[in-house]
Amino acid sequence: MATEVQHTLAKAAGFSGTSLHTGEKVTLKLHPAQVDHGIKFKRKDLQDEPTIDAKIDNLKTVERATTIGEGSVRVHTVEHVLAALFAMGVDNAIVEMDANEPPIGDGSAQPYVDVIKRAGVAAQEAPRKLFNVRESMHVEAKTGALLVLLPDETFRISCTQAGPNNRFTQFLSMEVTPAIFEREIAPARTFVYYEEVQSLMDKNLIKGGSLENAIVVRGDAVLSKEPLRFADEFVRHKILDIIGDLALIGHRIRGHVVAVKPGHGANAELARAVAREQTRRDAISVPRTLPPGEGGFDTDEVMQILPHRYPFLMVDRIVGFEGETKCIGMKTVSINEPFFQGHFPGHPVMPGVMQVEAMAQVASILLFKLAKTSSRVGYFMSADEVKFRKPVFPGDTIFIHAELTKARGNRLAKAKCHCVVNDAVVSEGELMFTFLDK
């Protein structure tokens, strides 16, 4: 599969409408943005035109709609425009507005899809930020909402929506692609239960709210200006909201969202959980800068200790030591490694024995530190309990953990080692060394 790249808008485009909460006129304009910019909202109506990152860290409230903010600046009801941008494949954009809320349109994502199509979507030269679901995760809320995230090759949502007393229970499952979103999800309008909005209407809190931008459900009756667009329009709108709220992760999910009675609160909880997991992955998979002093060894220092050279040097650097007996080495496995040519053509996988070699080299560095001399060299004698658990592919960064468990009489040493890629152990083994004078 070709690497997915980031996209932005080909040019700026916008439209005007009414803001839901204040009922005032608002103009929204979408602008292209550079690689890795993400989606940002810009308040054109405020002094200095502040911007707010569409990031889960900036989430403020989830009552009825999703509000984000930074400092004292707020943007309300961001979920529909975010859903449209995200689902139509836009990774980088500026959403400029002259009010604290986008125009509500007809309560669906249709107006935003229209404006994105008018602007056009353009590919950029950087890989897309993807979150691959490796293990299931779930969140539950007091409202009865349950969201489960499962591994999947695509981005998929299966949703069950149920109203008060389980009225209007609807289920729908689909892969989310731009074409499917535009046809099946974008036109689905906001719906509200009369009992829940009555007090807001009485308090004049939804000045722009009308049957033109929401479906009102009263008892078993469905009130709206135009008839239902789909028999199961409600569950479709729930899926729309899930996409919009999960856009706050900033990474595209490769996985299956299974949602039961979802709401903005539970959606945001799942977004937070994914963002936390992504932060954890970033911390362990991005090559770190070396800490100063005794912290680790850079490539030069590694090569002063180990006699191995390309293509047999299997350690790029030592990330750090823990006392005298533990250390972690790092190796970034590139497609240019000579072994990939033959192991295997069209399906490059790093040979397990090369990982054992990497363990032996990292353990040798520990032995060297312990012996404090380079006049004697450690020879790799045996390997026990070797297990290969997961394949290692080009582009993976291996963290090689080594711990000396025995260093007997300056003659023999044992090391317990394991290799980690993306926080999963890919291989392990117990290695034995003997020392010989050079």
Task: Pick between residue 264 and residue 416 the one whose CB is nearest to Zn ion.
Answer: 264
Q: 3-state class of 22 per DSSP?
A: coil
Given the complex with Zn ion, which of 237 and 401 has the nearer CB atom?
A: 237
- Catalytic one among 264, 308, 347, 418? 264
Contact between 91 and Zn ion per CB under 5 A: no
Q: 256 catalytic, yes or no? A: no
Catalytic: 264?
yes
Binding piece for Zn ion, criterion CB under 5 A, among 11-19, 142-150, 238-246, 325-333: 238-246
Q: Which of these segments, 26-34, 44-52, 178-186, 190-198, binds Zn ion (CB under 5 A)?
A: 190-198
In the structure encoding, which two tokens stand for residue 313, read together? 């040097």
Can you tell me the distance from the alpha carbon of 184 to that of 162, in angstroms, rounded to the nearest whole number?
19
Phi and psi angles of residue 423, each rounded to the nearest 5 degrees, phi first: 65, 15
| Closest distance to Zn ion from the beta carbon of 349 (Å) | 45
**Is there binding between residue 277 and Zn ion (CB under 5 A)?**
no
Question: Is residue 269 involved in binding Zn ion (CB under 5 A)?
Answer: no
Smallest gap from Cβ 59 to Zn ion, in A, equals 15
Q: How far is the CB of 66 from Zn ion (least distance, A)?
A: 9
**DSSP H or E stretch at residue 412:** strand 412-421
C-alpha 125/C-alpha 35 separation (Å) is: 8
Radius of gyration of the chain (CA): 28
- Closest residue (Cβ) to Zn ion? 241
What are 241's two structure tokens? Answer: 């909201």
Q: How far is the CB of 20 from Zn ion (least distance, A)?
A: 10
Q: Does 241 bind Zn ion (CB under 5 A)?
A: yes
101 binds Zn ion (CB under 5 A): no
Short-list 174, 172, 169, CA closest to 152: 174
Nearest by Cα to 216 from 184, 188, 185, 190: 190
CB of 1 to Zn ion, least distance (A): 32
Helices (H), 61-206: 79-87, 110-119, 178-180, 194-202
Smaller CB distance to Zn ion: residue 55 or 64? 64
Alpha-helical (H) ranges within 110-250 are 110-119, 178-180, 194-202, 233-246
Sites of contact with Zn ion (CB under 5 A): 190, 241
Q: Which residues are catalytic?
A: 264, 343
